[in-house]
Amino acid sequence: MPELPEVETVRRELVPLLTSRRITRVEIYWHRLIDRPAPEIFVQHLVGTSITALRRRGKYLIFDLDSGEHWLIHLRMTGQIYVRQAQAPIDAHTHARVYLDDGGVIHYRDQRKFGRFYLVRDEDQVVGDLGPEPLSEDWQPEDLAERIRGRRARIKTLLLDQRVVAGLGNIYADEALFLARIHPACEGGRLTEAQVRRLHRAIRQVLLEALRARGSTMSTYIPPSERRGEYQQQRRVYRRKGQPCPVCGTPIEHMKLSGRSTYFCPRCQPFSC
């Protein structure tokens, strides 16, 4: 599932291809892809506009349009975006094509079909509840502490809550908790100040490492350049059950937390919370 580093990689690769391009035609092959407005309104409003900027908020891509509206895309599990030539073939997983004035065509593919498009004037209707951006200079350990204070939920579950911090998913939550030496099942509100500081630093470190590696290609995530992400080669615990911990050599363990697969080192991340 694309998380912050994957979505940011997609954004960076799309910027030179899409900035200032005018949209000339839109084809939607699966209407439930459009969360809002109605698909025919979505198409009507998009055609004729130009893309003035491409931003990211959490796991959302945001296309700013010269009409004043914003086109948001959430890739969810298996969404993929490619820019191809008009004659490029489509397949059963291609759910939309957006034609550009330079002959390029945005292809949206999605095997599991959980991804969604939104077209709104006020982007806060979609992203207004998201917590802070973890790579922003403004994000401080105190903010993280504030958002988990008194919470009974487990810290791993809280890190996946996009209102606590935006952009983390299963891979980078596990990796950050390992680096911070915190057991994923610890109650969030019981973390010490030192633990919260370590976690804050670990989240940034893991996300920056993953960005440099252009994300993790472990299933369907392949960015527009079709150069796969490489963070999976550096991961420390995620999907490494039974393999030695890179710090102490203890076999990595696996557990389910709120239905999510969770990986940790029982020695580096003791359940002493």
Q: Does 243 bind Zn ion (CB under 5 A)?
A: no
Nearest to 264 by CA among 195, 173, 189, 203: 173
Can residue 248 be called a binding residue for Zn ion (CB under 5 A)? Answer: yes
d(CA 5, CA 193): 27
CB of 73 to Zn ion, least distance (A): 38
Give min distance, CB of 249 to Zn ion, in A: 7
- Alpha helical stretches, state H, 57-138: 124-127
Catalytic residue among 11, 57, 59, 235: 59
The question of whether 256 is a catalytic residue gets the answer: no
Chosen residue from 228, 254, 267, 273 binding Zn ion by CB under 5 A: 267
**Cβ contact 4:207 at 8 Å:** yes
- Catalytic, 137? Answer no
Quote the least distance from Cβ 186 to Zn ion, whole Å. 16
CA distance linking residue 175 with residue 9, whole number of Å:
19
Interaxial angle between packed helices 4-18 and 193-212, expressed in degrees from 0 to 180 and rounded to the nearest 10: 40
Catalytic entry in 181, 260, 266, 267: 260
Please tell me whether the peptide bond between 223 and the residue prior to it is cis, using omega within 30 degrees of 0: no
Per CB under 5 A, does 245 bind Zn ion? yes
Separation between Cα atoms, residue 130 and residue 110, nearest integer Å? 24
Q: With CB under 5 A as the contact rule, which of the stretches 114-122, 203-211, 227-235, 244-252 interacts with Zn ion?
A: 244-252
Question: Is residue 3 annotated as a catalytic residue, yes or no?
Answer: yes
Out of 20, 48, 247, 261, which residue is the one contacting Zn ion (CB under 5 A)?
247
Where does this chain bind Zn ion (CB under 5 A)? 245, 247-248, 250, 265, 267-268
